[in-house]
A and B are shown apart, each in its own frame.
Chain A
Amino acid sequence: MPLSVRDLTVSRGGAIILQGVNFTLASGDALIVRGRNGIGKTSLLRTICGLQPAWAGEISGCEDRIAFAGHADGVKLTLTVHENLTFWSQIFGCRRTQFALEAFGLENLRNRLAGTLSAGQRKRVALARLLLTERSIWVLDEPTGNLDQDTVKTLLSIIKTHKRGGGSLLVATHDQLEWEAETLQLDAFRPKKTEIFPIFASGAK
């Protein structure tokens, strides 16, 4: 079942920031969300993940199928890399910790405390978590920040494998990724006039 977004209105802090967003993401598809800072990329992704309610519109086909990786990486600094990943593998009931470590080249860092890692290495730990969710729709917010060229290539090859396996992908990024995917330019969905509603307005859904 494809992820389908129809006439979605997205709000942030009581103000409507995107209106009439429509797209469908079938299995094996990828969609890159682009737009200038503050346009609402993160808010759109959070709405699709169910972390914030849609102001209006409909999102279907995402129930328990989405793995989200946002700005904050959720990596615990006082746990080792292996402990961090084992925790998420247990939460998602998946036993592929070793595979995830190897896929992102974290094998030699497995017993290091996450607090002693560089920002890029920590980002790799956060991305390795995606492999442990065994979910088909990956929603990634700026996944290539802090990553070196080699790791970006690794991520792209993992993404290709994910897509070949029937997975799909929704990525918000400013970077030019060396792979072909449809682009959703958010500038087209800006409301003509910014309407600000009180947070507890009766019309809020």
Chain B
Amino acid sequence: MIALLVRDLRLALRTGSGLGLGVAFFLIFVIFVPFSIGSQSDLLRAVAPGLLWLAALLSCLLSLERILSIDWEDGSLELLATAPLPLEAVALIKAFTHWLTTGLPLIACTPIVGVLLNLEPQGFLWLIASLGLGTPALSVIGVFGAALVLGVKRGGLLLSLLVLPLYIPTLIYGAEVARRGSQDLNVMTPLLLLSGISIGVISLLPFASAAVLRANLR
């Protein structure tokens, strides 16, 4: 499993685009928000948690299609399916690699972009915590979506249509944790729900992804 993780990280670093695309989109999106909705700091402060979550979600979506399609096209997915590594592990590792190359850099950028949107100082911690808890679920759901559209030429639109509804609970509770955190309210309920969604998705969806991969490899 570690071999697959190392290989995929190396591939992401070598090709570059996979790693930089999500973060670049996230930064561009957030930097342009004050230009489009004006510089009223109160307004920006109010929408910052939700907007940052939305930007993170859309950034994750951008690189989803490539997670499995490259391995499918060059035949390595087929070879992995005949290797001793179970496809469930392959799905989980793919999601983890996606999170390391997309979710983690986004979280690292959050303190900088939070300042641009005038986020309340007490909100930073909860925003980072909510992204830390929620983005792994986005990656795991994304791998499931990518497995579903495997082999579909230019399946990006279909992938978005399939994945976005599944992202909604994570977005609602993730943004709610960040919003309540920035307003000094009690975050426990949305935080527990967000954690529950993430744990459920991470423990169950790799099995579904593997089943879909098996069906699509036929």
With A52-B218, A78-B11: A91-B78 Cβ-Cβ less than 8 Å = no
Q: For the side of the interface on A, what is the size category?
A: 20 to 34
B-facing residues in A88-116 (Cβ within 8 Å): 88, 90-93
Nearest-Cβ distance from residue A121 to partner chain B, whole angstroms: 16
> Using Cβ atoms and an 8 Å threshold, which residues of chain A touch B218?
51-53
Bound-complex Cα distance A93 to B76 (A): 17
Q: Mark the stretch among A60-68, A152-160, A177-185 that contacts chain B.
A: A60-68
With A49-B82, A53-B218, A66-B82: A79-B74 Cβ-Cβ less than 8 Å = no
Please determine whether A79 and B11 come into contact, CB atoms closer than 8 angstroms.
yes
Nearest-Cβ distance from residue A175 to partner chain B, whole angstroms: 21
Asked if B217 CB lies within 8 Å of chain A CBs, one says yes
Please determine whether B82 and A51 come into contact, CB atoms closer than 8 angstroms.
yes
Please determine whether B217 and A52 come into contact, CB atoms closer than 8 angstroms.
yes
Nearest-Cβ distance from residue B152 to partner chain A, whole angstroms: 15
Q: Is the interface of B mostly helix, strand, loop or mixed?
A: helix
Bound-complex Cα distance A51 to B7 (A): 23
Nearest-Cβ distance from residue B62 to partner chain A, whole angstroms: 20
> Using Cβ atoms and an 8 Å threshold, which residues of chain B touch A201?
none
> Using Cβ atoms and an 8 Å threshold, which residues of chain B touch A52?
217-218
Nearest-Cβ distance from residue B83 to partner chain A, whole angstroms: 5
A-facing residues in B70-89 (Cβ within 8 Å): 73-76, 78-85
A-facing residues in B14-28 (Cβ within 8 Å): 14-15
> Using Cβ atoms and an 8 Å threshold, which residues of chain B touch A129?
79
With A52-B218, A53-B218: A76-B11 Cβ-Cβ less than 8 Å = yes
Bound-complex Cα distance A64 to B82 (A): 8
Please determine whether B81 and A91 come into contact, CB atoms closer than 8 angstroms.
no
Q: Which of A50, A71, A87 contacts B7 (CB 8 A)?
A: A87
When C-beta atoms are compared, the residue in chain B nearest to A129 turns out to be B79
> Using Cβ atoms and an 8 Å threshold, which residues of chain A touch B76?
72, 74, 76
Nearest-Cβ distance from residue B75 to partner chain A, whole angstroms: 2
Binding site for A on B (CB under 8 A): 2-4, 6-7, 10-11, 14-15, 73-76, 78-85, 217-218
Binding site for B on A (CB under 8 A): 49-53, 64, 66-68, 70-79, 83, 87-88, 90-93, 129, 133
Which 10 interchain pairs have the tightest Cβ spacing?
Answer: A72-B75, A90-B3, A74-B76, A78-B14, A52-B218, A74-B75, A74-B79, A87-B7, A68-B82, A91-B83
